[in-house]
Amino acid sequence: MNVPLLILFTPIIVFFIVFKYTPMAGLIIAFKQYTFMEGIWGSDWVGLKNFKVLFSNSLTLSIIRNTVVLSGLSIFVGFPFPIALAIMLNEARRKWFKRMVQTLVFLPHFLSWAVIGGIVVTIFSQETGIVNSLLKTLNGTTFPFLYHERSWIAIFVGSGIWKGAGWGSIIYLAALSTIDSHLYEAASMDGAGKWRQIWHITLPGISPTIVLVFILTMGSVMEVGFDQVYILQNASVSGVAEVISTYIYRVGLQRAQFSLTSAMGLFESLIGLVFVLTANRIARRFGQGLW
């Protein structure tokens, strides 16, 4: 037993117990008619009533669909970008260029969605946006990018990739550093170009990391960041922009229907768990399972 490592790991264990596992006791609210006066344990037990009310509402299916679509597009469209970025950075030979690019692609991660949202509006606003100013100059017309559902979805996915790809590439850069450089030298001597080296050495070398990250990412299929959606959404695109996180905010916090939104949150977590278990089961068939 490595006692020093266990001591270093203790704060992490405490953090997860206090802030992740202990709050799970509050999920009992989903099976009660919670009120402030009665408290969690004193409120009346209603069983599955909140779930019946939730799924008898036609709006619920629309919210779940929007959540799955936006999250699924963000995951499956955005997943390759950190990998490609890490490979490109790893292939860069000039240190000054590599450092400059790393700084530029890592920077968006440290900006809040309030700032990112302002940048998006500056670029795509129909009246004063850079893109529409260019379109107006070229053909005299503008396009409501932020008020058209399909273009809004594209902007939502694209802004998420721009903000997260640089930070997400860090773990792949770490994985790339573990690949034996002699493999590349041997491949080069055998006449393999860069593309063949990437396909036959780089990608297989980081494949366990890719599978691990993918399995963990599948757990967030039912999660769409509240900040991003809330900052970018508007009434014109509410048909595709209303997701579980914004529903919980509007109904749970603004209307104080805590039991109903707790039921929605529990459903979201269970579906995420199913996705993780399914992804891991598929990965195990290829010898790459997480457990």
289 found inside a domain: no
Q: What is the pLDDT of residues 105-156, one digit of tens each?
A: 999 999 999 999 999 989 999 888 899 999 888 888 889 999 999 999 999 9
46 found inside a domain: no
**Range(s) of the domain holding residue 213:** 73-284
How distant, in Å, are the alpha carbons of 117, 219, 260, 273 from that of 281?
Answer: 38, 13, 32, 12
109 found inside a domain: yes
Q: What is the pLDDT of residues 244-260, one digit of tens each?
A: 989 889 888 888 888 98
162 found inside a domain: yes
- pLDDT of 206: 92
Torsion on CA atoms 224, 14, 277, 50, rounded to nearest 10 = -60
158 found inside a domain: yes
Q: What is the mean pLDDT of residues 155-161?
A: 94
All residues at 6 or more sequence positions from 7 whose CB lies less than 8 Å from its CB, including other chains: none
Calculate what percentage of the chain has a pLDDT beyond 90: 36
CATH number for the domain spanning 275: value is: 1.10.3720.10
- pLDDT of 202: 92
What's the rounded Cα separation, in Å, for the pair 72 and 222?
8
**In this model, does residue 289 exceed pLDDT 70?**
no
Q: Which carries the bigger pLDDT value, residue 286 or residue 207?
A: 207
**In this model, does residue 157 exceed pLDDT 90?**
yes
58 found inside a domain: no
Residue 147, class by beta-carbon neighbours within 10 Å (0-12 exposed, 13-18 middle, 19+ buried)?
middle
Place of tokens 């691990």: 212
**In this model, does residue 287 exceed pLDDT 90?**
no
**In this model, does residue 290 exceed pLDDT 70?**
no
**What's the mean per-residue pLDDT of the chain?**
88
- pLDDT of 55: 87
How many domains, the chain?
1
Q: Return the percent helix, strand and coil in the chain, to nearest 5.
A: 80, 0, 20
What's the rounded Cα separation, in Å, for the pair 73 and 69?
6
Using 50, 70 and 90 to split pLDDT, how confident is the model at 66? Answer: very high
Least confident span in 43-47, 75-79, 279-283: 279-283
Is 230 within 8 Å of 252 (Cβ atoms)? no
Q: What is the pLDDT of residues 201-233, one digit of tens each?
A: 999 999 989 988 888 888 777 788 788 999 999
53 found inside a domain: no
Q: What is the pLDDT of residues 72-89, one digit of tens each?
A: 899 889 999 999 999 999
Using 50, 70 and 90 to split pLDDT, how confident is the model at 1? Answer: low
Calculate what percentage of the chain has a pLDDT beyond 70: 98
237 found inside a domain: yes
- pLDDT of 192: 84
